[in-house]
A and B are shown apart, each in its own frame.
Chain A
Amino acid sequence: MTFINYASREINCKIVYYGPGLCGKTTNLQYIYDSTAPQAKGKLISLATETDRTLFFDFMPLELGTVRGFKTRFHLYTVPGQVYYDASRKLILKGVDGVVFVADSQDERMDANIESLYNLEENLSSQGYDLKQLPYVLQLNKRDLPNVTPLEELTEELGRKGEPIFEAVATNGTGVFDTLKAVAKQVLTELRKG
């Protein structure tokens, strides 16, 4: 839920990166963190297991600049992708303003993508949201690997509503900011609609 403070002239929005285990959600945040000027970001908090799998969430606040004198701050979260962390995923979706679904383009992860996307739709609707009405972007990650499913096939299988789709290689930053911009823009546009 967007939070607007007239006293400090701030707009705060929440964006959640969703997707199957190891698809590259944390890597997206890490890249954004590493390539943002210190004054525009806060700490990157990772609640992770010993083996760097997300346990609860990653979190990072990012300031994009001002709109009409209001600082716009985006709170970026990732969910844990592993199937058995579903309770945590539900919690993190609370109050969400926009979602990025990070798909793993590798052939053998197609089923995991489908399952995770279905899980997203379920968890959203259990909280009264509808994916179709929410600012939403699809990122097809790991395009650098040899065994990837063709773009058309992924779009066909995972596309939901003509959402913006970006090919990405999160490890080197390809498509990472395009994805973020696309979802942030939708969130702000939504705010304008009222």
Chain B
Amino acid sequence: MAHTLKVNGATHSVDIDDDTPLLWALRDNLGLTGTKFGCGVAQCGACTVYVDGKPMRSCVTPVSTLEGREVTTIEAISGREADAVQKAWTAGDVPQCGYCQSGQVMSAVALLKEIKKPTDRDIDLAMNGNICRCATYARIRSAIHDAARTLEG
């Protein structure tokens, strides 16, 4: 059936089954391929998007639950935290293969929006649902600290 999806500020009508995962709608129907498929069972974080500003795993989010809600993907995150993370990620050369990184960035920005100066533990708790097969974890952690320093001013 037709579903109205509000993604990155634009409204789309897509004709898909109610239980279609948002991830499929984003990638296959809307062509937003920055969000990745890793596991499909909420175990890797590669598919992380924001729904009403909060991180959600789009692989386990049926489109039928998104009526009236706003989706933001890696293609459209913006603001101070996103800018600081982008800068720190580039400076620290964080990605290896890059596959997990849009999910990592979505989670890192979400963390910095809530905690301006996260500790190592805050980072572990916010980021441990984002798996990186290239094990860039040490660089991710130092880039988040780096971004926090930028945000401090």
Do chains A and B interact in one complex? no
A-to-B contact residues, CB < 8 Å: none
B-to-A contact residues, CB < 8 Å: none
